[in-house]
Structure 1
Amino acid sequence: MQTTLKEYIPEKAIPKVLELLQHDGLVVKVKQERKTRHGDYRRLPNGKHQITVNSNLNSYRFLITLLHEIAHFEAFKNYGKAIKPHGIEWKRTFQHLMLPFLNPEIFPVEILPLMAKHFKNPKASSDTDIQLAYALKQFDAPNDKTFIFELPLHSTFKLYNGRIFKKGLQRRTRFECVEIKTGRLYLFNPNAEVEILND
């Protein structure tokens, strides 16, 4: 486990993470990229608990995702299965787990204020925190993806599944985008990652 984790999380975080993972019934697996989620937690039929995290995440996002899923495990263990997946018990557990990691030895100084703000009331996904998601993206390996909020109005973009859209106006928090093929209107989060197409 330790050698695997060393590849994915900041070095100074390793001892604390290993401490959190010292449960007989907890299995952590690193998976290929999944477009719809960064990680997940499941209670397996055999009574064990499994956490999966995507291998393509940068080390800071990987650590946040891993702790997010460990918080699901801890909340389940401490409060039982009747709790809401991202309810108050999970939020408090996640905050408690995250606190020792919020220091400049582990996270870059420029991210820390955004993380402190986010963890006052953590959301089901850090991706919904636009500022934090954008700050974390700066540490990704270079790729051809752009956030929707960065695209010019009326520009066309492609999703991972090949569907093509045109960006429209912002409606409160999300952007109206029209699918070119069907003419149907969809709402996109500002920090959905897409591939811009040259008109």
Structure 2
Amino acid sequence: MKHIIEPYLPEHAVDAVFELIKVYGVHLKIVNDRVTRHGDYHRDGSGAHRITVNASLNKYRFLITLVHEIAHLAAFEKYGRNIKPHGNEWKLTFQRLMVPFIRPEIFPPQLLPLLARHFRNPKASSDTDATLSLALKQFDEKSEKNYIFEIPFGSQFRIHNGKIFRKGVQRVKRFECLEISTGKTYLFNPNAEVELLP
């Protein structure tokens, strides 16, 4: 298993992650990219702990995602299955598991203060923290896509499922965007990646 996870993780995180996988009896599957999630955890009918993580994630996001999912397993084991999936028990567990990784041998220096801030009160997804999400994306493979916050007001864009929108005003943090075919308004995170249309 160790040689399987090695290419997906920062070099100095591999041994510690492998220990977490062994301690919690994780069956890890690295899968093709899913747009709606970076990873997930579930316990199957036989009681096996199954975690999937997207293969396309950069090493730093892969590490955060895998520890996020292991934290679900660890929180359910410690506090019982009736806790909220991203409630206080999970947050405490995620912090406890993640803090040993937040060091300069594992993460680039520019990410360390952002990670320290994020893990004071971790969110259900690192994508919800726009500053951290944008900082992590700089380590992704180059893409032709734009972020919503970069494109001009009133411009049209396409999302992953082919739907076309027009960018509107910013409401607090998110952008109000009109779906062209239905006339419905949706809110987009500023760091959502979209295809700008001519």
TM bucket, shorter chain: over 0.9
**Aligned partner of 1:93: which letter?**
T
Q: Which residue does the alignment assign to 1:97?
A: 97
**Aligned partner of 2:159: which letter?**
L
Q: Which residue does the alignment assign to 2:60?
A: 60
Unaligned runs of 5+ in 1: none
**Aligned partner of 1:16: which letter?**
A
Write out aligned runs for 1:1-199 (5 A). Answer: 1-23=1-23, 25-198=25-198
TM-score by length of 2: 0.97
1:24: Cα distance to partner? 6.8
Cα deviation code 1:79-101 (max 9, x no counterpart): 11011000001000000011110
Unaligned runs of 5+ in 2: none
Structure 1: how far apart are the matches of 2:192 and 2:139?
17
**Aligned partner of 2:176: which letter?**
E
Structure 1: how far apart are the matches of 2:182 and 2:74?
44
SS at match of 1:66: helix
Structure 2: how far apart are the matches of 1:150 and 1:61?
22
SS at match of 1:57: coil
**Aligned partner of 2:148: which letter?**
I
**Aligned partner of 1:130: which letter?**
A
1:25: Cα distance to partner? 3.8
Does structure 2 conserve the Cα–Cα contact (< 8 Å) formed by 1:169 and 1:176?
yes
Moved more, 169-178 or 129-138: 169-178
Count of equivalent residues? 198
Structure 1: how far apart are the matches of 2:102 and 2:171?
34
Structure 2: how far apart are the matches of 1:110 and 1:103?
11
Does structure 1 conserve the Cα–Cα contact (< 8 Å) formed by 2:24 and 2:74?
no
1:70: Cα distance to partner? 0.5
TM-score by length of 1: 0.97
Structure 2: how far apart are the matches of 1:44 and 1:148?
38
Cα deviation code 1:17-52 (max 9, x no counterpart): 011111474201001101100000001110111010
**Aligned partner of 1:124: which letter?**
A
1:179: Cα distance to partner? 1.1
